[in-house]
């Protein structure tokens, strides 16, 4: 009788666990499907207001109580005057409004997948910006796939086509595909030690043909078209294939140089299109950039007479992604603790 009772209890626990597990899996699956269909959200940040809050906080700590009270009185007076002026100028033309600086961040990967967000951000800016405004893109990329960065550069060109001034700021690196994007701008600024240039094309591929032959492994590859495959990882590469592949690289390099010449006609492309990179201090002497200044200083200076607005397009992580990350962290922590335990108390 006791055995039947224990078995029934065990069976009930098992069924409960299975149902709970199935429920969790169903929730994750539903969340994943919902997330796949969900569009991202546009985040608009008033950077000018953030800078103002920082200034007020620092001032609050620096001034004495008496000086702080006096400043608050003066601020109230100024606010009333501004409110009156704003009321009077309500009927004025659009030219009387304060120009804006729209800030977009772009940190590119090898395949420039971030361009999907960039296109949404640029579209949002173009819907509200005027020729009196300016767009600042803070760019960081060491380059990657030419066709991907070509698309990213085309997205930036949309801003210029709308006659809106475009500035690219490089704090760390804008090389190869990164510089392909940067050169589209009306003005390129960089930090003194940022890396720029690398106007060249590179391709590399391992070849395991000798390893396969050594182990008596045959490899077959069928193609239609003489140059459908020039170099391969497993087949035996030929001089003819190498020559064609090199020809394609040279063609891409020429297109890269033409792209730069189109957007920076004053730059002596041949002297810099060697694949070399330059630090900001040197880059300005060869005309790769126009000014040495960090993005922080550029925004701070612009804030004196412009309203600075940050634009970001982001897709929020769904439940499935969050649970996956939490599970991964839990496993990592468990392994770490187990490793530490075994170090202290070896068996």
Catalytic positions: 176, 228
Contact 318, 31 (CB under 8 A): yes
Contact 178, 289 (CB under 8 A): no
Helix axes 319-344, 2-37, angle to 10 degrees: 120
Q: Sign (positive/negative) of CA torsion 139, 116, 149, 232?
A: positive
């Amino acid at each position: 009788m006791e055995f039947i009772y224990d078995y029934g209890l065990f069976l009930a626990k098992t069924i409960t666990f299975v149902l709970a597990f199935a429920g969790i899996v169903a929730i994750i699956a539903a969340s994943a499907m919902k997330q796949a269909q969900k569009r991202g959200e546009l985040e608009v940040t008033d950077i000018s207001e953030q800078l103002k809050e920082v200034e007020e906080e620092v001032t609050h700590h620096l001034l004495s109580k008496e000086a702080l009270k006096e400043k608050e009185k003066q601020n109230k007076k100024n606010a009333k005057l501004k409110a009156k002026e704003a009321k009077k100028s309500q009927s004025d033309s659009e030219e009387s409004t304060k120009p804006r600086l729209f800030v977009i961040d772009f940190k590119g990967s090898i395949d420039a997948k971030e361009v999907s967000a960039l296109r949404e951000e640029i579209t949002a800016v173009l819907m509200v910006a005027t020729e009196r405004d300016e767009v600042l893109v803070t760019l960081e990329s060491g380059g990657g796939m030419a066709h991907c960065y070509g698309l990213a550069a085309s997205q930036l060109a949309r801003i210029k086509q709308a006659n809106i001034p475009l500035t690219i700021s490089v704090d760390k690196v804008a090389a190869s595909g990164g510089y392909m994007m940067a050169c589209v701008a009306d003005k390129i600024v960089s930090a003194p030690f940022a890396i720029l240039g690398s106007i060249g094309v590179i391709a590399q591929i391992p070849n395991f043909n000798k390893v396969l032959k050594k182990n008596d492994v045959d490899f077959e590859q069928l193609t239609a078209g003489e140059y459908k495959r020039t170099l391969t990882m497993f087949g035996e590469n030929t001089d003819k294939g190498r020559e064609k592949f090199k020809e394609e690289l040279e063609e891409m390099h020429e297109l890269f140089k033409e792209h730069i010449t189109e957007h920076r006609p004053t730059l002596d492309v041949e002297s810099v299109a060697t694949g070399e990179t330059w630090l900001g201090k040197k880059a300005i002497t060869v005309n790769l950039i126009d000014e040495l200044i960090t993005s922080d200083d550029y925004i701070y200076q612009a804030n004196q007479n412009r309203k600075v607005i940050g634009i970001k397009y982001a897709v929020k992580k769904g439940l499935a992604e969050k649970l996956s990350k939490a599970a991964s962290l839990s496993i990592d922590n468990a392994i770490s603790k187990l490793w530490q335990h075994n170090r202290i108390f070896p068996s």
